[in-house]
Amino acid sequence: MYKQLIRPILFLFDPEKVHYFTFSLIRILCKIPFVASIFRSIYQMNDPRLEKNLFGLSFKNPVGLAAGFDKNAVLYNELANFGFGFIEIGTVTPKGQVGNPKKRLFRLKEDKGIINRMGFNNDGMEAAIKNLKKNKHKVIIGGNIGKNTATQPEDYTEDYLQVFKELHPFVDYFVLNVSCPNVGSHAKLNDKDYLVELITACQNQNNRFKIKKPILLKIAPDLNNTQLDEIIDLVAETKIDGVIASNTSTTRDNLKTSTERLQQIGNGGVSGQPIKNQSTKVIQYLSKSSNKAFPIIGVGGIHTAEDAIEKIEAGADLVQVYTGFIYEGPSLIKKINKAVLHKL
């Protein structure tokens, strides 16, 4: 029903406007008596064999929603009805910021992809905390955090620490987003020595809390093998809890979308099917070269159950969807979980 009826209508309109319309629609529908329970009966799978224990957390299934969809933590309670095992909010920055000028979100229909240059648009940590206080604890919540665009390089760490400290009581795990291609002046975030400093600072902050929260690093799919070796060394050195592979890509290779259309769109990160193989190769390299030394969450181009299984077989412990969720609809989560059970 979604692909045949709903998606064609939604895809007639501006992607960002549709995003907010869909949010409002899901919210309204879930307030109608019995609708949320109907969604749960259609989309959820409650099978103990799907449970996954990772970095001290028990995930009821291995399929999560990637960061960027629910930036301000306004819809995670309702989205939990669609069967996700975990939902990642953010990217959250200390202060609210508008992000890059619109238009900044574009569909690549021929490629089943999206290009975005949102630029960490969000309402800031205070707004996220206000929304997270409404948590009904239906699902594990991850907090994807970043710096404000206007922050000077010498203050990057302070930005991350500020959000880390304030969000700490309200999320189950943290993701340090150091790989978004759509925020200016982020060269420092690619420097291994600085990443050691940032991770260590967050870990020290973490140690001040009675209950420590897992910390993960989100990396780009465009890293070469030498850079991936540095990530493996970084994890070994800092003992960070895991890696999310991967973020959006700046590569435009092998796209079916015309060159003219891509020039019209301009810069931005590619997500969806075009980065599927790239992301899987990164997962496979990290897993094999490290001898599976740390947990990996696989994300990038998962549009089918087979895509998810491919990521898991490459070395991912959990998977996340975003663009695939938009193109394929909420039935994708259940399809993946069924395929995981079938593989057991």
How many domains in the chain? 1
What pLDDT, on a 0 to 100 scale, did the predictor assign at position 252?
A: 94
Buried/exposed code over 92-109 (b: 16+ C-beta within 10 A; e: otherwise): bbbbbbebbeeebbbbbe
pLDDT above 90: residue 187:
no
Per residue in 62-74, pLDDT (tens digit) is 999 999 999 999 9
Q: Which amino acid is at 325?
A: F
Higher pLDDT, 188 or 102: 102
The Cα–Cα gap between 318 and 205 comes to: 26
Q: Which residues pair with 114 in a beta bridge?
A: 107, 271
Per residue in 4-42, pLDDT (tens digit) is 999 999 999 999 999 999 999 999 999 999 999 999 999
Cβ atoms of 207 and 201 within 8 Å: the answer is no
- Please count the other Cβ atoms lying within 10 Å of the Cβ belonging to residue 258: 10
What pLDDT, on a 0 to 100 scale, did the predictor assign at position 182?
A: 72
Q: Residue 52 has which token pair?
A: 């996954």
Q: Residue 169 has which token pair?
A: 């009581």
Q: Residue 117 has which token pair?
A: 């240059």
pLDDT above 90: residue 185:
no
Domain containing residue 231: CATH number: 3.20.20.70
Q: Residue 142 has which token pair?
A: 């991850």
How is 104-151 classified by DSSP, letter by letter? -EEEEGGGTEEEE---S-EEEHHHHHHHHTT---SSEEEEEE---TT-
User: What would the mean pLDDT of 74-98 be, rounded to a whole number?
Assistant: 98
Q: For residue 68, what are the domain limits?
A: 2-343
User: What would the mean pLDDT of 141-163 be, rounded to a whole number?
Assistant: 97
What pLDDT, on a 0 to 100 scale, did the predictor assign at position 186?
A: 64
pLDDT above 80: residue 147:
yes
The Cα–Cα gap between 207 and 205 comes to: 5
What pLDDT, on a 0 to 100 scale, did the predictor assign at position 188?
A: 81
pLDDT band at 181 (very low <50, low <70, confident <90, very high): confident
Cβ atoms of 116 and 248 within 8 Å: the answer is yes
pLDDT above 90: residue 283:
yes
Mean pLDDT of the chain: 96
